[in-house]
Structure 1
Amino acid sequence: MSGPGHSKAQADQAVSVARRKFLEGDRLDMQKLATELGVDRTTLFRWVGNRDHLLATVLWSLAEPTHRAAVAATTRSGAARIADATHTFGQALIDAPYFRAFLRREPERALRLLTTKESPVLNEIVDAVERVVQQELDRGHLIHPMAAHDLAYLIARITESFIYADLITGDDPDAGKAAIAVAALLGDPTYTPKGT
């Protein structure tokens, strides 16, 4: 007999296998995933939702620790701390071969899942950035007329416009430009990303 805890464990296993395949650069195929897990597609859908929902879950499971590590990696404060985190996070996305493979293989789906209201990924990123912005506001290291949530939304939009530039405008992705733009938004026009 399977209760809620049982299906949660199975859903976690399905997400884990999907994440492994994603990291290997494979296209996420629901039928193959169901077969590997020893279930039918209906059961898999009941556990993890449709393919887009599963992809969004996998994407955020990879982005969340990456963003957390980017925030932890900077020793600066205020606008520079937020810009540094933007730079490190953006560069990690640019440098991840599995992520770039996904963007090249399914560009329209990737942009929809990463940048629109159809996916929780954008909301999660905005929430994560908002926590950092609010910390800097609370500590007195940042003063800005806009609310933390609105700033976080703009920071997320600025970041994606430079990180996904190859898909949006055909330009090369550039985490440094994203960081400089974020710093300027936050009132630090002299910011320079570390290592540049």
Structure 2
Amino acid sequence: MATSDVNFEAPPKRLGTSLTRDAVLAAATREYLAGRPLDMSALATEVGIGRSTLYRLVGAREDLLSVVLGEAADRTFAYARKHTTAPGGAERIVEVMDRFMHAVAEARPLQELSRREPLVIVRILLVPGPVEKVSGRNVAAMLAEEEAAGRLELSLPPDVLGLAIIRMCDAHLYAPLLGRTDPEIDTGLDLVAALLGHTRRPATK
């Protein structure tokens, strides 16, 4: 899963001798949030390094986009958890996923990137990689927390179930990339609720 741009700001720019991989990621994040194509030559020029150094720091362009979207997914999950009102258990998991999926579906930067580079987005979002790993880890952490608190009984380990939930939701969230007309968020949420033995109640947006 990728990210919403709601209330998010890119990290501050750092140049010159303080340049690190984080500075490159910050510059790439600014480009993504601004809805601009990620040009590796322009990015190298902006941070004051050569292209070969840039590739040593972050890998290929698609690798960099994957990391940018993975970090953005972390921020979007934090946003969803912060605004969730459910007290706990399966209801909390479903509401977080509801808020997360709607935030992603409404994210202007992701819409722009998907429009320009649909095949790249399919490879980044629908194939195992950094974005799926980050999203699965977030869901697994919530599942483990609810299980430890005695608010949820799990039939599978949290990491296995978390990854299954993400893959199931991704297939419906990114339905337009797979040839369907619109995101199928309600269907994805109904499946998550069923998997957790919960009767879904729509979240307040």
**AA aligned opposite 1:61:** E
What is the CA-CA distance between 1:8 and the residue it aligns to? Answer: 7.7
1:23 and 1:42 mapped to 2: Cα distance?
A: 25
| Structure-to-structure mapping, 1:20-39, within 5 angstroms | 20-39=30-49
- Structure 1 runs of 4+ aligned residues shifted over 3 Å read 6-9
> Which residue of 126, 134, 138 corresponds with 1:124?
134
1:86 aligned residue: 97
**Residue 176 of structure 2 corresponds to residue 176 of structure 1:** no
Q: TM-score, normalised by structure 1?
A: 0.89
Relative to total residues, which structure has the larger helix share, 1 or 2?
Answer: 1
Residue of 61, 64, 68 corresponding to 1:58: 68
Q: Matches of 1:145 and 1:35 in 2, distance apart?
A: 51
Whether the 8 Å contact between 1:87 and 1:178 is mirrored in structure 2 is no
Following the alignment from structure 1 to structure 2, what is the Cα–Cα distance between the partners of residues 20 and 175? 28
What is the alpha-carbon distance in structure 2 between the residues aligned to residue 59 and residue 71 of structure 1?
Answer: 18
The structure 2 residue matched to 1:97, chosen from 108, 117, 120, is 108
Paired residue for 1:133? Answer: 143
Percent same amino acid at aligned positions? 34
CA contact (8 A) 1:90 1:163 kept: yes
Give the deviation of 1:29 after TM superposition: 1.1
Kept in 2: contact 1:30–1:41 (CA 8 A): yes
Q: Does 1:106 align with 2:117?
A: yes
Alignment of 1:147-162 (within 5 A): 147-162=157-172
* Counterpart for residue 203 of structure 2: 194
Shift of 1:51: 0.7
- Counterpart of 2:172 in structure 1: which amino acid? F
Matched residue of 1:58: which SS?
Answer: helix
2:6 is matched with which residue? none
Amino acid at match of 2:193: A
Equivalent residue letter for 2:188: A
Q: Which runs of 5+ in 2 are unaligned?
A: 1-15
For 1:37 and 1:143, locate their aligned partners in 2 and report how far apart those are by CA, in whole Å: 49
The 1-side partners of 2:48 and 2:121 are apart by 28
172-181 vs 13-22, greater mean Cα deviation: 172-181
Q: Please state how far the C-alpha of 1:37 moved relative to its aligned partner.
A: 2.0
Please state how far the C-alpha of 1:7 moved relative to its aligned partner.
8.0
Matches within 5 A, 1:70-85: 70-76=80-86, 77-85=88-96
Alpha-carbon distance in 1 for matches of 2:56, 2:165 = 35
> In 1, Cα distance between the equivalents of 2:180 and 2:27?
33
Q: Distance in 2 between matches of 1:129 and 1:150?
A: 10
Q: With structure 2 as the length reference, what TM-score do the two structures score?
A: 0.85
